[in-house]
A = this chain, B = another copy of it.
Amino acid sequence: MRPSGRQPDELRTIRLTRRFTKHAEGSVLVEFGDTRVLCTASVEESVPGFLRGKGRGWVTAEYGMLPRSTGSRMGREAARGKQQGRTVEIQRLIGRSLRAGIDMEALGERAVVIDCDVLQADGGTRTASITGGYVALADAMTTLMERGQLKRSPLHGQVASVSVGIYRGVPVLDLDYPEDSEAETDMNVVMNDAGAFIEVQGTAEGHAFRRDELDAMTTLAESGIAELIRHQREALEAS
Contacts and interface: CB of A to CB of B under 8 A. Distances in A.
Interface of A: 21-24, 27, 34, 36, 38, 40, 42, 44, 62, 64, 66-73, 76-79, 81-83, 85-89, 91-92, 96, 100, 113, 115, 117, 119-121, 157, 187, 191-192, 194-204, 207-211, 214-215, 218, 222
A69 B115 CA distance: 11
Question: How many copies of this kind of chain does the complex include?
Answer: 6
Contacts of A87: 78
B22 A34 contact: yes
A47 to B, nearest CB: 15
Contact of A78 (B64, B69, B92, B199): B64
Contacts of A215: 215
Nearest to A77: B78
B42 A67 contact: yes
Contact of A200 (B96, B187, B196): B187
30 contacts: A23-B69, A23-B71, A23-B120, A23-B121, A24-B68, A42-B72, A42-B73, A62-B67, A62-B79, A67-B113, A76-B78, A77-B78, A78-B83, A79-B83, A81-B82, A85-B88, A85-B89, A85-B92, A100-B208, A192-B208, A196-B209, A197-B208, A197-B209, A198-B203, A198-B204, A198-B208, A199-B202, A199-B204, A200-B201, A215-B215
